[in-house]
Amino acid sequence: MQRAARITWKAAGAALAVTGMFCRSSVPSLTPGVAYALMGVGVAMIGMGIAGDARSKACDTASVGVRQRYLREFLPAMGGYVVALFVSIWLLKGVEQPALRAVLALLPVPPVILAVRAIVRYIRGVDELQQRIELEAIGTATALVSMAYFSAGFLQSAKVIAIPADMAMMLVFPVTCVVYGVAKALLARRYS
């Protein structure tokens, strides 16, 4: 990730996190999960920018064409996600019908599907060593986040912690992305 892109990720992440904190304290009609989701996505973006700072050159050996295609597909998808999230939040305030609420609540999902598609196409486009690094990082992140979620479930059922379910569910993907970035940086150093 180039320096300008890392700065952009950190700045956009900070803006989303601050927006989430502001919404949590200043917009009482907003569901807490939405504010937590904004904060979570913001923290994930900051983490990705920091992980980009820490990564070695060997962490990404993709060709220029593969990287450009990835950015052409990934960045609009994430922009669409942010827009869809805010539109969804705004429209949900005035809708009572359950079926329409379900459609509006799921509005941010299609852009995330497009982002995941861009990630899969990127992984398919890199060499075998880079694929190994990517897949080990994804496996490590999935295992760690799953174990944390699993453990938190036991703590929640024992009434040791109290995490709103909507927040916990919405944060799984962003937290997995952050852990993936850290795992990828560590694995790339091992293979370089």
* Mean of all residue pLDDT scores within the chain: 82
The proportion of the chain whose per-residue pLDDT surpasses 90, expressed as a percent, equals 28
Largest pairwise CA distance in the chain: 55
Contact in structure between 77 and 111 (CB atoms under 8 Å): yes
Domain limits, the chain? 1-61+127-192, 63-125
Query: Would you state the pLDDT for residue 145?
Result: 93
Say if pTM beats, i.e. exceeds, 0.75: no
The whole-angstrom separation of Cα 97 and Cα 133 is 46
The whole-angstrom separation of Cα 77 and Cα 38 is 17
Q: How far is CA 175 from the centre of its chain?
A: 6
Under the banding of pLDDT at 50, 70 and 90, the label for residue 85 is: confident
The whole-angstrom separation of Cα 128 and Cα 58 is 13
Residue that has been written with the tokens 């190994």 in this structure: 132
pLDDT in tens, 127-179: 999 899 999 999 999 999 999 999 988 999 999 988 777 777 877 888 888 88
Contact in structure between 111 and 43 (CB atoms under 8 Å): no
Query: Would you state the pLDDT for residue 2?
Result: 63
The whole-angstrom separation of Cα 115 and Cα 109 is 10
